[in-house]
Amino acid sequence: MQKIFFTPAEVSDLMDKYSSMGLPFLFGFNYEMDSAFFIPEPEGQNEIKYKFGNGTNCKRDILANLTDEGLKIISTDQFEEYKSKFNIILNGLKRGDSYLANLTCRSKIMLSMEREEVLKSTHSPFALYIPGVFLCFSPERFVKIEDGIISSYPMKGTIDAALPDAENRILNDYKESCEHATIVDLIRNDLGIVSDEVWVERYRYIDKILTDRGEILQVSSDIRGRIKACYNNSYGQLVTSLLPAGSISGAPKKATVDLIAEAEVIPRGYYTGVAGLFDGRVLDSAVLIRFLEFANNGETYYRSGGGITINSRADEEYSEMIKKIYLPLNTL
């Protein structure tokens, strides 16, 4: 395989170079911003599988064994272990270090099929598979850049669709509403770094996602900006100026990232980083959530988490973290 991993600074420069020439590329940055990858002319290779918008080299399939659970949880944080991390975040919120922080965990899992078969038989707006490193099937766009407009669609709020009156419950939940408003404000400020004008196109809308464990509802918003002239065709500088993504860190961003590191201890790596595809005209990208991590010892881990506010309860957040361990079914 060709060399694909570089420093973030090198990838940023390569993105600027290729976007200015209108040449396609695939890119990614990890959460800690100490690793990045870049693949020029990605449609010319088959080892790394991807799907970003209409750009894909993934062959989709439907496998019967995904009608049952496609993965089995072997081990995860026990509640008391999770609660100790939660309390570190909560104490930071009480001190005023942060007013929203994303707490995540790593769970050991067993898949019911080969890794590439999981990719073929799941469905999501965005997907990326780097053999031996990770497999991601993300429902969340990071940013899309087209015709001078940058768009972001942060996701905050998840509920089991089978619950009575689920849609109204999630939309009228005070804690969820506060958390979503905070992230929308943060993303507006982030887009303001690279835009002359920013607006909210659509606020708190519902998407339905079918998983191997049932249907869930996800709440998102649509935020847009008109890109400053200095960032036209300098997409490396533009993307890196927005990292880490606000929806998976929190607000204020710098202090919250420090608080998360204290609570989680284990580095996230490419989980909650970003990756994307430039097709020569449009750049589309995703936040790397719904994420399978492949360890050197052959173990497979699923990363999941959620936003914590001063109104959060440890038991509810723990339950949400577990519910986010799923495979999105391909029903087409």
Q: Distance of CA 136 to CAs 63, 125, 211, 272, 327, Å? A: 18, 11, 14, 10, 10
Q: Using only the alpha carbons of the chain, give its radius of gyration.
A: 19
Q: At what angle do helices 79-95 and 253-264 cross, to 10 degrees?
A: 150
Please provide the DSSP assignment of 153-215 as one string: --EEEEEETTSTTHHHHHHT-HHHHHHHHHHHHHHHHHHHHHEEEEEEEEEEEEEEEEEBTEE
**Distance between CA atoms of residues 36 and 270, nearest Å:** 9
Residue 125: asked if its preceding bond is cis (omega within 30°), the reply is no
Q: Which residue in this structure is represented by tokens 């290729």? A: 18
CA angle at residue 12 from 55 to 307, to 5 degrees? Answer: 75
Task: Mention every residue, 6+ apart, whose C-beta is less than 8 A from residue 189.
Answer: none
Are the C-beta atoms of residues 238 and 159 closer than 8 Å to each other?
no
pLDDT of residue 58: 80
pLDDT of residue 60: 64
pLDDT of residue 308: 94
- Specify the CATH number for 5-323; select among 3.30.43.10, 3.40.50.1370, 3.40.50.150, 3.60.120.10: 3.60.120.10
pLDDT of residue 202: 95
Are the C-beta atoms of residues 152 and 191 closer than 8 Å to each other?
yes
Instruction: Give me the tens of pLDDT residue by residue for the chain, a chain 332 residues long.
Output: 689 999 999 999 999 999 999 999 999 999 999 999 999 999 989 899 999 988 888 876 544 445 446 788 999 999 999 999 999 999 999 999 999 999 999 999 999 888 888 888 788 889 999 999 999 999 899 999 999 999 999 888 888 888 999 999 999 988 888 888 988 999 999 999 999 999 999 999 998 887 767 788 989 999 999 999 999 889 999 999 999 999 899 989 999 999 999 999 999 999 999 999 999 999 999 999 999 999 999 999 999 999 999 989 999 999 999 989 988 876 54
pTM here is 0.91
pLDDT of residue 210: 77
Instruction: For the chain, give every domain's residue range.
Output: 5-323
Are the C-beta atoms of residues 244 and 31 closer than 8 Å to each other?
yes
* DSSP 8-state assignment for residue 67: G
**Distance between CA atoms of residues 90 and 87, nearest Å:** 5
pLDDT of residue 1: 66
**Distance between CA atoms of residues 45 and 48, nearest Å:** 7
**Distance between CA atoms of residues 247 and 155, nearest Å:** 7
Residue-wise pLDDT tens digits, 205-229: 998 887 767 788 989 999 999 999 9
Alpha helices in 22-114 (DSSP H): 79-95
